[in-house]
Amino acid sequence: MSANPVDLALEANFANDLPEMASPWSAENPPDSQLVVLNEPLATALGMDPVSLRTPEGLGLLTGAQVPVGATPVAQAYAGHQFGGFVPRLGDGRALLLGEIADPAGLRWDLHLKGSGRTPFSRGGDGLATLGPMLREYVISEAMHALGVPTTRSLAVVATGRAVQRESLLPGAVLARIARSHLRVGSFQYAAQTGDIGLLRRLCDHAITRLHPAALEAPQPALALLDAVVTAQASLLTRWMLVGFVHGVMNTDNMTISGETIDYGPCAFLDAYDPATVFSSIDHAGRYAFGNQPGIAQWNLARFAESLLPLLATDQDRAVELATASIGAFGQQYTTQWSRGMRTKLGLADALDDTVAASLVTAWLALLHDNHADYTASHRALAAAARGNAESLRGQFLDLPGLDEWLTTWLSHRPDADLMDRTNPLYIPRNHLVEEALSAAIEGDLSPCNTLLQVVAAPYDERPGLEPYSQPAPDDLGTYQTFCGT
Ligand code: AMP
Ligand code: MG
C-alpha cells in the first residue's frame, strides 16, 4: 500500500451489493488517540505498511477518524436470536465496516472497527468500548489463530483518550479487526424477515461469491451455501471443543457464515474439565455451557436454514425437507471430526480400532472430569507420560489408581508423543494471566500483555522461562466469571 494509510484502497462490496443492510456512517473523532498495540505481521500480510500505521494518519485509519478517499464506512444491519429470543433489529451498535481490502494474494478481508461510536443501531448504548475488553479480544483472537482455529483477527487497539462510563469511568479504546467477512446468521435472518426475496437472493449471492464460491457451480447454489456453512461450522465447533474454548454468547448474531469465530465477549478457555462450565455472568441457565456448544451451533444453523427456505425450493415442504437434510449432516460431521481429533490428542495410531479408541477417549474424559483435572495441562502432560515420565500428569489427579489403570491400557497402544506435542498446546491464554495482563495494561503497563501475546503466538513450542504460563490457575482463584456488553 502507499505510505499514506489514508490512500489505502478500500472496496465497498457489501455497501454496494446490499444498500438496504448498510447504513453509511462516520466514526466519532477520538480526543487523543494513542496506539496501544499493533499487529505488525498481520499488517504486512495484508499489504499494509506498519510504519505508516503508527503515524497520525495511521491512527486516523485505525479509529475511523480519517477515512480513505472513496471508502464508504457502514454500520451493518442484522437480526439475531439472543439466548433463544428473536430480536429483529440488532446491527452494529458500536462498530463500523470501513470496507474490504484485497491482500497481495487477492483474497478479500473486511476492515472493521469496534468501539467507534454511536450508530443508527445503538439503541440505548453509548457505541463505545473500553481498553480492557478490546485488549482481551486482541489477545484471545490472536491465540485462537495461533492454535489453528478460524477467527477474526486483531490488527490494532488504539486508546481514544475518552473516558467511558461503565460501573466506573474506564479508558476508551477502538479495536481494528479483520475478518473474511462479518456476515452472520443474523444477517440472513434480517434479510428474510423483510420479506424482500430480492434482497435475500442478493445477500445469498454476495455470501457465495465472497466466501463459498464453489456453490456458484452447484445446481442449487442456496442449498450448496447452506451445506458449506454447515461444514464450516462443524469444523469450527470441533476445533473449539478440542482446544477447550467456551464462546459464552453463541447468539445467532455472533455466528459467522465464513466459519470464523467472532465477537469475543465473555469467552474463556476451560481450566478444569467439565462440560457444564459456564463463565459468563449472564448465562444463568447455562445455555452456552462448554458441552452445549455443538448442539447450539446446530440450532443456530437451523435458524440460518429457515432464513434460506424461500431460496431452497418453491414448494415449502420440499424446501423444509432439503434444509432438514442439510442441517442433519452437522451431527455426523462434528462427531467424526471430533473423534478423529481426540484420537490425535491421545496420540493414537490411525490403525487402532475405532471402538477401542472411543472407549479410551470416553474413559479419559471421565477421569479428567472426576478429578477436576486441568484440560490443557493434562493433555500436554500425557506426552511426557508416553515418554515414561508420568509425574506431571499424576500431579493433576487425585484418583491415582484410576489414572494408572487407564495409563496401562493406553500405553499398550504405543501413543505417539511427538504427534501429541504438535496437537496439544502448552500455552493458552489462561484466565488468571489474561486478567493480570489486562489489569496492568489499564494501569499503563503493557509489558505483561505483550509478553502474553508472544507466549500464545507459539502455543506448541516449549520455551525455557515460561513455566508460569503453562501452569493451571492457583486453587485460590475461585470460580472465574466473565462479562459481556463491556
Ligand atoms: P455483542 O454482545 O457484543 O455481540 O453485542 C450485541 C448487540 O449489542 C450488537 O448489536 C452490538 O452492536 C450491541 N452493543 C453492544 N455494546 C454496545 C454499546 N456499548 N453501544 C451500542 N451498542 C452496543
Ligand atoms: Mg455481536
pLDDT in tens, 36-94: 999 999 999 999 999 999 999 999 999 999 999 989 999 999 999 999 999 999 999 99
pLDDT at 485 over 60: no
* C-alpha separations of 442 from 161, 210, 264, 469, 485 in Å: 12, 38, 19, 21, 18
Q: Report which of 257, 234, 262 is spatially closest to residue 177, judged by C-alpha positions.
A: 262
Atom 7 of ligand 1, residue of closest alpha carbon: 90
Active site residue 353: no
Annotated active-site residue in 227, 253, 283, 421? 253
The CA angle 446-473-434, to the nearest 5 degrees, is 25
Residues lining ligand 1, Cβ inside 6 A: 90-95, 121-122, 125-128, 249, 254, 263, 265, 484-485
Ligand 2 geometric centre to CA of 102 (Å): 24
pLDDT tens, 295-306? 999 999 999 999
Distance 483 CA to ligand 1 centre (A): 13
Q: Supply the mean pLDDT for the chain.
A: 96
What does the pLDDT read at residue 215? 97
Give pLDDT tens digits for 122-147. Answer: 999 999 999 999 999 999 999 999 99
Output the CA 74–ligand 2 centroid distance in Å: 16
Cβ proximity of 482 and 279 under 8 Å: yes
Which atom belonging to ligand 1 lies closest to the Cα atom of 253?
4
Of all protein residues, the one whose alpha carbon is nearest to atom 2 of ligand 1 is 485
Q: Which of 21, 86, 90 to mutate to test the pocket of ligand 1 (most atoms within 8 A of CB)?
A: 90
Contact 5, 60 (CB under 8 A): yes
* pTM of the entire predicted model: 0.97
Only one residue has cell 499489504, namely 47
Dist. CA 404–CA 392, nearest whole Å:
13
**Structural contact between residues 368 and 375, judged by C-beta atoms closer than 8 angstroms:** yes
Asked if residues 119 and 75 have their Cβ atoms less than 8 Å apart, the reply is yes
Residues with CB under 5 A from ligand 2 (ion): 254, 263
